[in-house]
Structure 1
């Protein structure tokens, strides 16, 4: 990539993005006040469609009931021109907001606590910028406003199954996610395995209830559940190779109704996180065996249901390298950081199983970060300056990837 023309383009896009700041804040706050849960994003879909239509960008016939897909074509776009895909997610989380700013959620039990309102506004901002310079675009930009990232099976896989990549064949796909641990104005990228595969674990331990004063006459599922919790922890320390990240956590346990009654059943749930499919399959097998054998040894029975979640998110090394160059050109090299792998999960992983791409952290943290300003928190409060950064960076990265795909320096 040649830095001389890139610097001029970066300056133009940065100036345009800065002028958009009030508008992007307004869009983001409107979406924030009207959050919609996964698969219910009807209003948000309408907001996005109307915004794109005002820009003269034609939306595709719906692939799913909610969400928006649109192809922004450069002035010289023709069949066979390269396409770069940009993705934002649009759904909210099921929790009550506890912030005190003037644009809190108006929907009880619903909140944009993961930054998807920010992501949506950033991609809309990128669309404004790209539409203004479409005479210079060396191809097309596929705008993906994806529903249902927060709830399995997610929106990415259904979009793929509905044929988005049969109709369009992007050279790459780019995505970004708000991270309060990264300072606003900076980004962090990671080559290779970046986010974990996630599975939900549901245990049912069944025994024989009885009087707590005579445990020898019962088959205690509470004690067995405690042994199961302890036993599954050894899988990470004694089955997983020391160099492989993995997590098994039991997060809830329910059983019993009184202090003097041994219950007949205990239920538990938890999560398992791994960074590759081979280890994931091994732990599934070992978990089932461990639960069964511990239960048998305690004189009870136990069932384990494993609900498969998203696969590991693996960033393409070459696309990530190119993205890091584009980020450095746009933000300055000092504002591009290396990220360690994370044990969180993202359905962006499904796109990366189909086409090369990369997913990075975009900073939303402030100099004096308030306690509780974390993802999935009822007090999550990202720095809105990141809207300008994210919109401009998306637009600039799309331009540079298209130039590269078209064979320009």
Structure 2
């Protein structure tokens, strides 16, 4: 690899990413104004198709009802091998009512891009424009994946794969990125190996015998049973999971009863379990079921637990990740490329990484100072838009650099 050539290319892409920044901001704000929930991204899909066609890219026949896949054919020297790199952005929003006050807040009640998918989509569209502008120097092909339904299990990645994405296209590598307000704008953070957690949804139903609150001895109290179950399942992390293995069990909702003097007959709860390897995941599921059943029985009630299997552990390929670190340092500078810790958040990008070697990094959208409420999935999530310039340029550069 000629370092002079890569340095010149990086400079040119940085300059163009800066020049088209107002355009990527406009794209992002249009998407933010009209958020769409998982599998409902009709307007967003149409926007993506329209923009791609304007810059000379014809989308592939659809794999799913929403979302877009498109191929950019390189025209540079040494294209005979037809190597392929895939770049992915997710496009769906969350069922959150926005509480920001900027001039482009969500116009859709109860819906908001509170996880940065509007940013991701605009970044990939901007990167596609830059790749097309420099396509004569592109020594391979680039697959653009605008994926629906990342936020709702089973997610959009697995149905897309099952619909034949990797039968039609066989990428040599895949790259994705995600906004993180905990990382300062202009910086990225990467990690090899297990990077994001497997996630499972937990649904509890505790049945007892209702009665008068003044005579609890004549009832079988599911509220008490639920309380003990909440306490009991917490020991799984501290006494079943090894101390060096990250794991989380959280009960996030509880519902039961509607009067202060009536013991209800049923209490329902829901929560989540996060783990970083599949063997611990299986062990915790088994012990969770045992704990729930036995705790309920000891208190004279019955409990049922439904575990809905979610996304697998996201495992970044070590070789591709190390290569990506080099690209990022070349484009952003050494001090702007950080080592990320493992995260207990989950991402269906994990399904792609089970099929294709690749990496998923954090792209900074933070301001460098603590801002209350500027967190993912918050009604006040407000990423720094200057990150659009960073993410657009970096994705484009990575596509070119992969073939050098």
Runs (5+) with no aligned partner, structure 1: 404-409
8 Å CA contact retained: 1:49, 1:68: yes
Matched, 1:291 2:298: no
The CA RMSD over aligned residues, in Å, is 1.1
Greater alpha carbon shift after TM alignment, 178-187 vs 360-369: 360-369
TM-score using structure 2 length = 0.98
CA distance in 1, matches of 2:358, 2:369: 33
Q: Deviations over 1:280-312 (max 9, x none)?
A: 111111111111111111111100000111111
SS in 2 for 1:142: strand
Structure 1 segment 8-407 matched on structure 2, within 5 A: 8-75=8-75, 80-403=81-404
1:26–1:325 CA distance, 2 compared to 1 (3 A): same
User: What does residue 407 of structure 1 align with?
Assistant: none
8 Å CA contact retained: 1:156, 1:348: yes
SS in 2 for 1:199: strand
CA distance in 2, matches of 1:50, 1:79: 30
Deviation at 1:56, TM superposition (A): 1.0
Q: Deviations over 1:340-369 (max 9, x none)?
A: 000000000000000100000000111344
Deviation at 1:2, TM superposition (A): 4.1
CA distance in 2, matches of 1:54, 1:213: 72
CA distance in 2, matches of 1:268, 1:363: 35
CA distance in 1, matches of 2:370, 2:261: 47
Runs (5+) with no aligned partner, structure 2: none
Q: Deviations over 1:143-171 (max 9, x none)?
A: 00000001111100000000101111111
SS in 2 for 1:360: strand
8 Å CA contact retained: 2:34, 2:108: yes
1:29–1:153 CA distance, 2 compared to 1 (3 A): same
CA distance in 2, matches of 1:86, 1:30: 22
8 Å CA contact retained: 2:79, 2:139: no
CA distance in 2, matches of 1:371, 1:302: 39
CA distance in 2, matches of 1:402, 1:123: 19
CA distance in 1, matches of 2:116, 2:319: 27
CA distance in 2, matches of 1:113, 1:84: 28
8 Å CA contact retained: 1:3, 1:329: no
Q: Deviations over 1:18-68 (max 9, x none)?
A: 100110111110111011010000000000001000111110000000000
SS in 2 for 1:370: coil
CA distance in 1, matches of 2:97, 2:234: 33
SS in 2 for 1:307: strand
8 Å CA contact retained: 1:172, 1:355: yes
TM-score using structure 1 length = 0.97
SS in 2 for 1:250: strand
8 Å CA contact retained: 2:199, 2:310: yes
Deviation at 1:80, TM superposition (A): 4.7
Deviation at 1:79, TM superposition (A): 7.3
Deviation at 1:211, TM superposition (A): 1.1
SS in 2 for 1:287: helix
CA distance in 2, matches of 1:284, 1:121: 39
1:154–1:2 CA distance, 2 compared to 1 (3 A): same
